[in-house]
Structure 1
Amino acid sequence: MAEINTSEKSGSRGTHSNKKSTRVDMTPMVDLGFLLITFFMLTTTMAQPKTMDLFMPKDDGDSMSLPAKKALTVILGPDNRIAWYEGIGNDPAIPPQVHYSSYSNHAGIRDIIIDKKNAVLQAFHKNDLMVLIKADKSSNYKNVVDIMDEMLISQVDRYAMVDITPAEEQYFK
């Protein structure tokens, strides 16, 4: 593994100190390094991707029979704006009462979701709130992620991403 060269120069005059050169063989250390790298590469687990489960409603028409008192519709609009109304909004005879909100901590969409959740819990004695999330074409992906985070923070078990109607697109114009 290590060698020491002890050859002396002949024919030199006088007394000189003997200088010995050392040479260390690094081959075993390199082999050990590669073995350790290989061991740790094969035994570590790769980072698992973090995903969020999203269940879309069925496409067979009105498969989701949902009372209007158990529903809250949230519409994501441009410039981080939010429109919301109670119910599903599918009755043309009774148009929904549209309100506007924001993502702020005080009097924002979280407070609205929690208030509606508590109202459904008191009326039906069960956590049956269903939030319908509709995104306008001009809303951004960050708004969708933010509203999904609000669903997790507010502990809403049932929510769905639904297509926005042309009438609802007009709420932000």
Structure 2
Amino acid sequence: MSADVEQKDSGKGKKGKQKKMKTRVDFTPMVDMNMLLITFFMLCTSLSKPQTMEISMPTNDKVDESQQTKVKASQAVTLILGEKDKVYYYLGEFKAGDNSLLQATSYTATGIRDLLLSKNRSIVAKVNDLKQQKKNLKISAEECAAKIAEAKEEKGSPTVIIKAADKSTYKNLIDALDEMQICCISKYVIVPITDGEKALLASAQGAK
């Protein structure tokens, strides 16, 4: 970039009168510099990656195939994800034709969460106590994590069986899995819904 100063002489040579000067700035080199900067940033800037959400799916060692249908009745909670953001549940073993078996609830804190907390209240209390001990620096983070994992595997902890109906949404499944983490449920599994459960679900949805 250069600047040229041009002096304009009137030719009359009057004394005491300042000569007029005209300044011209050449911006041509700026074009090349801008192109270099644009090229530099295009090469050095990483393109934005698509955002994805990670889901911690239950592992097969939590509830094996034989346990899925033979879970202790007093510890089993079956969630059936229905249409229009509705969720239904029943406790214990499935009984075909029992229309009173399936109960409706919601994904709110006063719905499915209250149900799971009532089944897992003692373990949730232990987990919260361990987290508070870690916060107060009474135990290390590693020790806290180990004790929490041990507490979740205690005898008497509920087993949740999640079944999604045809018209349930992906969001419904995510909401159900979130509640597993919030309520400290360590034993849960996702399995297909049975024909008998579909019949009860259709009856429950039709009664609404």
Q: TM-score, normalised by structure 2?
A: 0.60
Q: How does 1:129-148 map to 2 (within 5 A)?
A: 129-148=158-177
Q: Contact 2:123 / 2:184 at 8 angstroms: preserved in 1?
A: no
Match of 1:103 in 2: 107
Q: Contact 1:83 / 1:171 at 8 angstroms: preserved in 2?
A: no
Equivalent in 167, 170, 189 of residue 160 of structure 1: 189
- Amino acid across the alignment from 2:2: E
1:61 and 1:157 map into 2 onto residues whose CA distance is 16
Q: Contact 1:120 / 1:126 at 8 angstroms: preserved in 2?
A: no
**How many residues matched?**
163
SS in 2 for 1:35: helix
SS in 2 for 1:78: coil
1:32 and 1:49 map into 2 onto residues whose CA distance is 32
- Amino acid across the alignment from 2:198: E
Equivalent in 54, 66, 78 of residue 83 of structure 2: 78
Matched, 1:49 2:67: no
2:67 and 2:89 map into 1 onto residues whose CA distance is 23
Which piece of structure 1 moves more, 139-148 or 64-73?
64-73
Q: Contact 1:83 / 1:101 at 8 angstroms: preserved in 2?
A: yes
Q: Contact 1:133 / 1:160 at 8 angstroms: preserved in 2?
A: yes
Query: Of Structure 1 and Structure 2, which has the larger fraction of its residues in helix?
Result: 2
User: Residue 20 of structure 1: CA displacement?
Assistant: 2.5
User: Residue 154 of structure 1: CA displacement?
Assistant: 1.3
User: Residue 82 of structure 1: CA displacement?
Assistant: 2.1
- Amino acid across the alignment from 1:23: D
- Give identity over the alignment, percent: 25
SS in 2 for 1:80: coil
2:3 and 2:165 map into 1 onto residues whose CA distance is 79
Using CA pairs under 8 Å that are at least 6 residues apart, name the structure with larger relative contact order, 1 or 2.
2
- Amino acid across the alignment from 2:88: A
Q: Contact 2:75 / 2:156 at 8 angstroms: preserved in 1?
A: no
Matched, 1:3 2:23: no
Q: Contact 2:7 / 2:20 at 8 angstroms: preserved in 1?
A: no
SS in 1 for 2:197: helix
Q: TM-score, normalised by structure 1?
A: 0.70
Which residues of structure 1 form unaligned runs of 5+?
A: none
Mark the CA change 1:14 to 1:70 in structure 2 (over 3 Å): closer, same or farther.
farther
